[in-house]
Amino acid sequence: MNDYLGPDHQWRVVWIGPPDELELVFITGMQAPGCAPGVVFTNATFIVHNDAGEIGFKGTLLGPGVTSANYYGHWQGPPGALRKVARSSEPAADMPAGVTYKQVPAGGVAFNAAGQTGEIAYIQGSGVAPSNDVVRYVGNSDGLYAVLREGQPAPLEVGPDVTVLPGSSVLINDRGEELGSVQYAGPGITDANKWAVYFGPIGAPRQVMRDGDPAPGFPDGTTLVLAGGLPALAALNRVGDIVGITEIAGPGVTDEDKLVLWMRPHALRRWNRCCAPATSSAVAPCMRPTVWN
């Protein structure tokens, strides 16, 4: 990806492919697929790519009929064949008639080699309120379906009358697994246990981590904190390895050493901790880890 500056404009250009076989896939000003003639892209952000030579991104628009309510959306595909997945103000997938996207994607997009995608969206319309307007979608360029909506019941083991709010990020891998977070609300839910991380097959993940859980590898009484932020600062590879960051709380934990980098190949285990001894100096977990495929 390159940005080019001119006297009055900035162009974003995206190529994909091996270093000696790059193909142009996006340029500012190109016609936006799935939109009226003359509607063009002004920018692409949250760009992701897969091993099949495709990209996915959040695009912004300019042209006939474009307003502040419908100027962004989600596109994906290979060079020369981008497809619109969703656009703000258009009918929301898997929702009753009259419900539209208010903001889609509401952050980044996830994308794997099979073209499966995941994203968070805000919806609006009949029956939609601030208590149920956030949806986690998965699917592909042929269509999305809702897997989690704000206000729906949490799994029974979490507690009766507990509801969920999808977190702001979702990751998916080439094995068809998703990683995301939820926030619980209801009886027995406090600031100390409201966030949880879900991982598993797309559309059917299960809880694998929650605020208040014992922190593996630490003394008794040490617990996980802010687990819900892990997907936004995590890496997930094609075989299900997860690397991510949380905080911990408990005896002897201070602001200087509360950050912990975790790795979960089969079970969560401590990998690194802020201010832990290194070869010659203290270290801090990086803010965006990478895990090799």
Tens-digit pLDDT string for the chain (293 aa): 555 555 555 678 999 988 888 999 999 999 999 999 999 999 999 999 888 899 999 999 999 999 999 999 999 999 999 999 999 999 999 999 999 999 999 888 898 999 899 999 999 999 999 999 999 999 877 789 999 999 999 998 899 999 999 998 899 999 999 999 999 999 999 999 999 999 999 988 999 999 999 999 899 999 999 888 888 878 888 888 888 888 999 999 999 999 988 887 656 666 666 666 554 344 444 444 444 34
Last residue of a domain, one of 150, 183, 206: 150
Residues 177 and 207 placed together within one structural domain of the fold:
yes
pLDDT, position 19? 86
Q: What is the number of structural domains in the chain? A: 2
**Residue 268: predicted pLDDT:** 63
pLDDT digits (tens, 9 = 90+) for 67-88: 999 999 999 999 999 999 999 9
Same domain, yes or no: 232 and 272: yes
- Predicted confidence at residue 8, as pLDDT, reads 57
Q: In this structure, are 44 and 72 located in the same domain?
A: yes
What DSSP letter does each residue of the chain carry, written as one string? -EEEE-SS-EEEEEEESSTTS-EEEEETTPBPTTS-TT-EEEEEEEEEE-TTS-EEEEEEEESTT--TTTSEEEEEESTT--EEEEETTSBPTTS-TTEEEEESSSS--EE-TT--EEEEEEEEETT--TTS-EEEEEEETTEEEEEEETTSBPPGGG-TT-EEEEEEEEEE-TTSEEEEEEEEESTT--TTT-EEEEEEETT--EEEEETTSB-TTS-TT-EEE-GGGTGGG-EE-TT--EEEEEEEESTT--TTS-EEEEEESSS-EEEEETTEE-SSSEE---SS-----
Q: Pick from 115, 150, 185: which residue ends a domain?
A: 150
Domain that holds residue 78: 1-150
Question: Does residue 134 sit in the same domain as residue 41?
Answer: yes
Query: Is the same domain home to 120 and 183?
Result: no
Q: Of the candidates 101, 126, 150, which is a domain's last residue?
A: 150
Query: Would you state the pLDDT for residue 281?
Result: 41
Residues 236 and 172 reside in one and the same domain: yes
164 and 145 belong to one structural domain: no
The whole-model pTM stands at 0.83
Mark whether 135 and 183 lie in a shared domain. Answer: no
Question: Do 65 and 163 fall within a single domain?
Answer: no
| In a shared domain, residues 79 and 178 | no
Residue 143: the pLDDT is 86
What pLDDT digit, counting tens, does each position of 278-287 carry? 543 444 444 4
Same domain as 34, residue 146: yes
Residue 91 shares a structural domain with residue 225: no
